[in-house]
Amino acid sequence: MNVVELIIQKRDGHAVEPAAIRALVDAFTRGDVPEYQVSAFLMAAFLRGLSDRESTALTEAMLHSGEVLDLSSVPGLKVDKHSTGGVGDKISIALAPLVAAAGVPVPMISGRGLGHTGGTLDKLEAIPGFRTDLNVDQYRRQLGDIGVVMIGQTSEIAPADKKLYALRDVTGTVEFIPFIASSIMSKKLAEGIDALVLDVKWGRGAFMKTEADARRLAETLAAIGTEYGKPTVAWLTDMNAPLGYEVGNWLETKEAIAVLRGEQVPEVTELVETLAGEMIWLGGKAATPEAGTAEAAALLRSGAAFEKFVELVRAQGGDVSVVENPALRESRPVCTVEAPEGLRGTITSIDPYALGRIAIELGAGRKTADEAVDPLAGLTILKKPGDFVQPGEPIMRLHTLHSDRTGSLSERAAAAFSTAGGTARGDLLVDRYWQGTWRGAR
């Protein structure tokens, strides 16, 4: 294999043979091809596109770069969920224990922050002591013992995706449907699931900026799942505003804990209950998705979902005391952002992409693949679309150790708010895709 020739071939817009794609992925996984060459190939593919044949080859190569797990020893239908990422998206943290509390085993393998969006692993690891590096045997054992496990990719599970995921994050090659689809499905198909629920986001805060692109991604993902015999439901959700009030690893985990305690957090509770309903239905514990949603709401009210989360945290070495009392967790210095002159009236929109980039500058995300995140950094939104605001009112809090950055970041944060025009989020739940048909949201 001549990697330079492959780069040139794709750079010039030609198709690459599936065998060559598999050879490139295998060599990169082994460490025989340097990152700079794979980065060049990723950018060439990003700019020139990949055919369905090339995309399938990429997914296959990533899936079979490691072990495809067998969880048949764990009773029940194993169901997972995946989100394509959004600002303030802490859904998985509440969702996994909630569905497990309904009796559906949830084997969840998640990722770290990607681009302007946070990652579930970083949020879980904001709980002191929480381990996401369990090996396959521990993963399988815990799933059988308590019905839920949340880990990162191991060396056995789609190792090619783990390396490519980190590289995409720092080379500007994130927002590309073939890469997104192959990354998601290689992980999910390798983790031993029986069914899958997808949250495909679109809008300013998502990687898919338009509803049409998100629909195309959902169709691609659902088709791959169906091809592999895994029932797959995809929801399109609107990401034209942040989800909830908190952005940042511990801040989002704390908000997810509030949902698990039965609090109604705008957008977050609604999405958690809807996706849980689908998972409970696919897991055979409800007659319809709607019945599953009703069951999920009842489990949140009863406290059973929160107790399952405590069980999960304890099983993975986390400090249960801060879950039971989040006020015990240390905090960062806070800078309050006030509405500037000219920001008066009803807020029509908040730019989630701008807030995602600000969160990275505060320390909540990465600029390079090996950069550490500050688990306590982030921002709290004090005013949401639909709220009235006038100059001088607090609209946001910034949590950071980087006091030298708060001045310029405060200005950028204020500029993310609009009281005139803009693209306000419509219905959060846009459409549902299941076995080739779309159904309008409830």
For residue 232, the domain's CATH number is 3.40.1030.10
The CATH number given to whatever domain includes residue 32 is: 1.20.970.10
Q: Using DSSP, state whether 20 is helix, strand or coil.
A: helix
In percent, the amount of the chain with pLDDT more than 70 equals 97
> 412: how many CB neighbours lie within 10 A of its CB?
16
**The predicted structure's pLDDT at residue 442:** 44
When pLDDT is averaged across residues 95-115 and rounded to a whole number, the result is: 90
When pLDDT is averaged across residues 164-175 and rounded to a whole number, the result is: 88
Q: In degrees rounded to 5, what are phi and psi of residue 247?
A: -135, 120
Same domain, 345 and 267: no
Specify which of 238-247, 413-422, 429-438 reaches the highest per-range mean pLDDT. Answer: 238-247
When pLDDT is averaged across residues 13-42 and rounded to a whole number, the result is: 96
Catalytic residue among 80, 89, 122, 161: 161
Q: Are 428 and 265 in contact (CB under 8 A)?
A: no
Instruction: Give, in degrees to the nearest 5, the angle at Cα 434 between 428 and 436.
Output: 120
In a domain, 284, yes or no: yes
Query: 200 forms bridges with which residues in the sheet?
Result: 236
The CATH number given to whatever domain includes residue 348 is: 3.90.1170.30
Q: Which residue has the higher pLDDT, 424 or 74?
A: 74
Say whether pLDDT at 369 is over 80: no
Question: Smallest Cα–Cα separation from 365: which of 113, 134, 121?
Answer: 113
**The predicted structure's pLDDT at residue 441:** 56
183 has catalytic annotation: yes
In a domain, 114, yes or no: yes
**Which pLDDT band holds residue 371 (cuts at 50, 70, 90)?**
confident
**Widest distance between CA atoms in the chain:** 63
**The predicted structure's pLDDT at residue 307:** 98
Same domain, 17 and 37: yes
Same domain, 397 and 356: yes
Same domain, 203 and 280: yes
In a domain, 56, yes or no: no
Beta-carbon contacts of 217 under 8 Å, excluding residues fewer than 6 positions away, are 84, 177, 180, 181, 200, 208
Say whether pLDDT at 347 is over 60: yes
Question: Smallest Cα–Cα separation from 10: which of 162, 176, 222, 158?
Answer: 176
Same domain, 285 and 341: no
Q: In degrees rounded to 5, what are phi and psi of residue 234?
A: -125, 130
Signed CA dihedral, 217, 17, 168, 162: sign only: positive
216 has catalytic annotation: no
Same domain, 257 and 371: no
Is 326 exposed, middle or buried, given 0-12, 13-18 or 19+ CB atoms closer than 10 A?
A: middle
Same domain, 258 and 311: yes
In a domain, 155, yes or no: yes
Same domain, 137 and 187: yes
In a domain, 404, yes or no: yes
The mean predicted confidence, pLDDT, of the chain is 93
**Which pLDDT band holds residue 251 (cuts at 50, 70, 90)?**
very high
In a domain, 73, yes or no: no
Same domain, 314 and 334: no
The Cα 362–Cα 374 span in angstroms is 8
Say whether pLDDT at 257 is over 70: yes
Same domain, 277 and 151: yes
Q: Which tokens sit at 140?
A: 């399988």
Catalytic residue among 10, 22, 78, 82: 82
Same domain, 315 and 376: no
Which range marks the domain in which residue 413 is found? 330-418
In a domain, 64, yes or no: no
In percent, the amount of the chain with pLDDT more than 90 equals 79
In a domain, 72, yes or no: no
Catalytic residue among 168, 215, 366, 399: 168
The Cα 4–Cα 8 span in angstroms is 6
Catalytic residue among 55, 65, 183, 349: 183
Number of domains comprising the chain: 3
302 has catalytic annotation: no
Residue range 298-346, pLDDT digits in tens: 999 999 999 999 999 999 999 999 999 999 998 999 999 999 999 999 9
Same domain, 96 and 124: yes
